[in-house]
Structure 1
Amino acid sequence: MAKVFGFFKECGVELKKVTWPTRDDVVASVKVVLVSTIVIAIILGALDFLFSAGMSLIFKA
């Protein structure tokens, strides 16, 4: 059991050494992720629409 407590104590020591991002860095990263997700979703939606329209023209379904 002492090894388990030692492990968690060492984890705490290592986490204190971590350089955590600032709030501004996190907000900027979130904005990049949201914008890129929306752009990719729009592109994939447009491609899906085009392929579906093409298939319905080919197969007259």
Structure 2
Amino acid sequence: MKKIWTFLAEARAELRKATWPSWDEVSRSTLVVFVTVIIFAVLIYLVDGGVERALSALIGG
């Protein structure tokens, strides 16, 4: 049980040393992630549609 408390105390000490991002940095990073996800989703949708049409043309369906 002592090892668990030691671990938790050390983890808390390390977390206090961390440099946390500001709210502005977090919101900008979140926006970048959302835009990137939307762009990749559209690209995958377009490629999937192209592959589907190509396979349909090859198979004759």
TM-score > 0.5 by shorter chain: yes
Distance (Å, rounded) in 1 between the aligned partners of 2:2 and 2:57? 71
Distance (Å, rounded) in 2 between the aligned partners of 1:20 and 1:30? 15
Distance (Å, rounded) in 1 between the aligned partners of 2:30 and 2:21? 12
Structure 1: tracts of 5 or more residues without a match: none
**Letter of the aligned partner of 2:6 in structure 1?**
G
TM (norm. structure 2) is: 0.89
Q: Could you report, residue by residue, the CA deviation over 1:5-51 in whole angstroms, capped at 9, with x for unpaired residues?
A: 12211111111110001111111111111101110110111011011
Aligned-pair identity in percent equals: 33
Aligned to 2:21, what secondary structure does the other structure show? coil
TM (norm. structure 1) is: 0.89
What's the counterpart of residue 4 of structure 2? 4
Distance (Å, rounded) in 1 between the aligned partners of 2:3 and 2:47? 55
**Letter of the aligned partner of 1:19 in structure 2?**
T
Q: Choose 38-47 or 51-60, whichever is displaced more.
A: 51-60
